[in-house]
Amino acid sequence: MSVSTPRNRGLIVGAVIAGIGLLIAMIAITSSSASPRGYIGANYRCNFDPTEIDSVICQSNLRPSNVAAAIARDVSPIDRRTADNGTVFLQYSDDIVAIKSTATGSEIEVDDYDRGYRKHLTYIGVFGWSSSRPGGSGFGGFGK
C-alpha cells in the first residue's frame, strides 16, 4: 500500500518536469540547423565571409569529391548528390552547397537555401529536393 505524502508528490512532480525538460532539449538538439558555413570559411579561400553573406564563392585546390567529403565530415548534410557533370551538391536545412570542378581544383558555391534552389534547379530539381527549406525552419538570415 502506497502512502501519498507531500514529499512523494514533490518527487514525482520533479521527475516529470525533469523528463519534459530532457525531451525538449533532445528535440532542440536534433532539429537545430547545422550549417557548413563556418567550416567552409575557415578552410577555403572565399570572396566574402560565409557566415555573414547569403551567397559566397570559395576556392580549393582539391577535387570536388574530396571537398564535399571534408565538408560533410564536419557538418553532416541532409542529402548529398553528384550531377552528371561531376558537380557535388550538399543539402542543409538553410544552405545548398555546390562544388564544381575547375582547372585548379574546385569552386565552392554556398547559397542560402532559397537562392541555391533557384540557381541550381536544373540539377537539384531532378534529385527531388523541395523548393522549401527542409524541416520548415523558415528564414535563416545571415550567419546561419
The band of 84, judged by pLDDT with boundaries at 50, 70 and 90, is very high
pLDDT on residue 3: 60
Q: Which three cell numbers stand for residue 98?
A: 555546390
Tell me, yes or no, whether 144 lies in a domain. no
Number of domains within the chain: 2
Domain boundaries, position 68: 37-136
Q: What mean pLDDT comes out for the span 20-45?
A: 69
> Do residue 65 and residue 100 come from a single domain?
yes
Question: Does a structural domain hold residue 122?
Answer: yes
- The model scores a pTM over 0.85: no
Any domain includes 143: no
pLDDT score recorded for residue 132:
66
For residue 142, is it within any domain? no
C-alpha span between 44 and 49 (Å, rounded):
10
Q: What is the pLDDT of residue 61?
A: 98
Q: Are residues 110 and 131 in the same domain?
A: yes
**Identity of the residue numbered 77:** P
Domain assignment present for residue 49? The answer is: yes
Burial string for 13-51 (b: 16+ CB within 10 Å, else e) reads eeeeeeeeeeeeeeeeeeeeebbbbbbbbebbebeeebb
pLDDT of residue 144: 37
